[in-house]
């Protein structure tokens, strides 16, 4: 397995509930290196651009509204097999089906408000990390 980077987002629901620090602690306890991190509030154009692959889906407007509803914490996580490792730590997209030892199981409440986002493939991770972090912010 090789060293990878992946994007992690602590979504507005988890930030609003005060769970950012708890999620970051879970990430560090799982052995990730946080290569870059910042807290910001996404604009509508930023959210629409980030989720462009879902633009034709019926949930797109609701997703954009949710992701712009409050601050998010953006991170580049680094580890051996980081993409799958982060997806495993997050748990299933539907937080109601996530185990208690996962981010979504502990801090998510639904399929929409599921506390976290993670890249799903190396190509996606490359796009997503570059979307939010300049070359000067990334390792």
Q: Would you call 117 a catalytic residue per the annotation? A: yes
Token output for 14: 């988890």
Q: Can you tell me the distance from the alpha carbon of 43 to that of 76, in angstroms, rounded to the nearest whole number?
A: 20
- Beta strand 33-40 with 72-80 is antiparallel
Active-site residue identified among 7, 32, 117, 133: 117
Question: What is the number of H-type helices and E-type strands within the chain?
Answer: 7, 4
Cα–Cα distances in angstroms (integers) from residue 50 to residues 60, 74, 102, 121, 131, in the given order: 11, 13, 24, 15, 7
Token output for 24: 């970051």
* φ and ψ at residue 124, rounded to 5 degrees: -65, -45
**Looking at the annotation, which residues are catalytic?**
117
């Amino acid at each position: 397995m090789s060293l990878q980077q992946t994007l992690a987002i602590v979504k507005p629901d988890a930030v609003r509930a005060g769970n950012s620090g708890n999620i970051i602690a879970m990430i560090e306890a799982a052995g990730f290196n946080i290569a870059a991190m910042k807290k910001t509030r996404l604009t509508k154009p930023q959210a629409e651009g980030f989720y462009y692959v879902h633009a034709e889906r019926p949930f797109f407007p609701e997703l954009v509204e949710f992701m712009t509803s409050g601050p998010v914490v953006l991170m580049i996580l680094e580890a051996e097999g980081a993409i799958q490792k982060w997806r495993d730590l997050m748990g299933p997209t539907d937080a109601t089906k996530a185990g208690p030892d996962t981010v979504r199981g502990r801090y998510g409440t639904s399929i929409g408000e599921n506390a976290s986002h993670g890249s799903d493939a190396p190509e996606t991770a490359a796009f997503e990390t570059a979307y939010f972090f300049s070359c000067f912010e990334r390792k």
